Amino acid sequence: MDDYDYLLKYPFSKASMEYIDSKGLLLSDISPIVLEKTDLLFSRLFEPESYASFFSIDSLKISDRKAELDTELLVYPVSKIILNILNNVPLFQAFASYHQKRFVYFIGLDYKARAYDSIERLIKDICPSVTQDRSGFFIPLASLLALELGEEYKLQYTNLEHGNIYFQNKEQLVEFLSIVLKKRILRTTEVSKKELPKSLVSFSEVIRKKYVSTRLPAVTYTIARPKDTEFPPCFDKLYNDMLSGRKLSHIGNYHLAVFLSNIGYSYQEILDIYRNLPNFDERISSYQIRNIMEKKYSVANCETLRSNGLCIMDCKVKHPLQLLRKKESVLKPSKDK
């Protein structure tokens, strides 16, 4: 596999970012073709059945890959900028899940092709803490804990030797790398619209209208406000971690705010809870909480919380609010109009 293949398969890689830097590609140089391909990518987020055809690059000739490279590689960073402008977590989640699946697909092909140099290069890129010895790939336990991938994920690894956790097979390693990658993709960066080309800002509105307003399902729940001692385990942990002054991940902050707003907490109550964060910024927190409440985001289901490393036990339900329904028998699902 040549470098062109690697860059096209893994646009999030350091090699791809270095290539873009080396070419001197600027945001002001973004062509309509790049925006068109970015729009296509967002449309793919909602069509999982088309993953296979979108992933197939085998039909491209080497000369075609060279010609397409500059355009294709700009789609990923442009998409990240658009996502940061929109600050829509569900759309960001869909984007991260898409690239997580894309990564699993391509690294699977690399394993079949025995492209071990490419695989080792990718491992060092995604998680440098993972190394290899005669027994296989492993990661130091301390390094794994520092990644904060969630309690449930940590507990599934039992192959611990001399402070290192060994991956028992390639499937386990790939799953781990895909979760680390997803977390990396979900990192957000503040974007100032004033510093961006007008074409990008206008394009972000096109994406918002096409996909945020029409493709993302909006389902809310009407529920009596529970006591804070009755929160589902996942939110109980986030809530108490925050009250104790622990720093939460961006995704943890988001899901807790959504949960609190859905069970009857006011804007001021949520903001006061967030003041316990060691990195609390009133301007940013105020904006994000208002945004969540105005857009009436619904509480995520257990599958989504689990994929984000926030699930801490098997509660035998598909949605965390079902636990409150069992206690109070007043949960009534209703669709937003």
Residue 316 has pLDDT above 90, yes or no: no
CA dihedral 296, 302, 307, 311 (to 10 degrees): 110
- When pLDDT is cut at 50, 70 and 90, the band that residue 65 belongs to is low
Least confident piece of the model among 24-33, 53-62, 70-79: 53-62
* Portion of the chain with pLDDT greater than 70, in percent: 81
Residue 106 has pLDDT above 70, yes or no: yes
Residue 146 has pLDDT above 60, yes or no: yes
* Tens-place pLDDT, residues 181-197: 988 888 767 667 777 88
User: CA-to-CA distance for 252 and 141, rounded, in angstroms?
Assistant: 22
Least confident piece of the model among 51-60, 178-187, 196-205: 51-60
Give the per-residue pLDDT at 79.
93
Residue 268 has pLDDT above 50, yes or no: yes
User: CA-to-CA distance for 95 and 104, rounded, in angstroms?
Assistant: 14
Question: Partners of 221 in the beta sheet?
Answer: 333
Residue 1 has pLDDT above 50, yes or no: no
0.85 cut: is pTM over it? Answer: no
Residue 267 has pLDDT above 70, yes or no: yes
CB atoms within 10 A of CB 185: 21
Residue 53 has pLDDT above 60, yes or no: no
